[in-house]
Amino acid sequence: MNQAEFVKVVMPFKDKLYRLAKRLLTSSEEAEDATQEILMKLWSKNNKIEGYNNVEAFAMTMTKNFCLDRLKSKQAGNLKLVHSNYSDENTSLQKQVEAKDSVNWVEKIMEDLPHQQKMVLQLRDVEEYDYDEIAKLLEMQPTAVRVALSRARKTVREKLMQKHSYGIG
């Protein structure tokens, strides 16, 4: 596979790789570094890439594993899981502040979720992967993906209700 073919195959999902890395590594810089590493690794495997059924799924799995390895490494002692890629420039300042506050609350709630639920919620509701793709990426059964997603959503919903009800109801 030459460079032009590689760019045509890999670049359409480069942003998804970055968002997953950002979800796992918090820092934009760390996520950019991870994305670069994955792209370099993919390029080093460019002769084998055509043999994969789904290059995007393969790259997402590589990204997940790379980021988890980074988190486990001694260098990553200060990294944690967070999600903060929300922005909307077409709203009033008040709505932006409210939206940012809501996103921050969801981030805080997600930090307390078990790792598997956090990953399923990210891949399904943010990245919009289907259940079978998530099952392959996380090496889970599709039924287990649905259960984890349901539990994660329920937890987020309950904690948001607690926050917004102020103890009423």
- Report the C-alpha gap between 81 and 83 in whole angstroms: 7
Using alpha carbons only, what angle is made at residue 19 by residues 64 and 37, rounded to the nearest 5 degrees? 55
Please state the three-class secondary structure of the chain as a single string: CCHHHHHHHHHHHHHHHHHHHHHHHCCHHHHHHHHHHHHHHHHHCCCCHHHCCCHHHHHHHHHHHHHHHHHHCHHHCCCCCCCCCCCCCCCCHHHHHHHHHHHHHHHHHHHHCCHHHHHHHHHHHHCCCCHHHHHHHHCCCHHHHHHHHHHHHHHHHHHHHHHHHCCCC
In order along its 169 residues, the chain shows pLDDT tens digits of: 778 888 888 888 898 999 888 888 878 888 899 999 999 998 888 778 777 888 888 889 999 989 888 887 745 455 444 444 444 455 567 777 777 777 777 778 888 889 898 889 888 887 888 899 999 989 999 999 999 999 999 998 888 788 766 555 4
- Report the C-alpha gap between 17 and 21 in whole angstroms: 6
pLDDT of 82: 47
For the chain, domains (ranges, CATH) are 1-80 (1.10.1740.10), 85-169 (1.10.10.10)
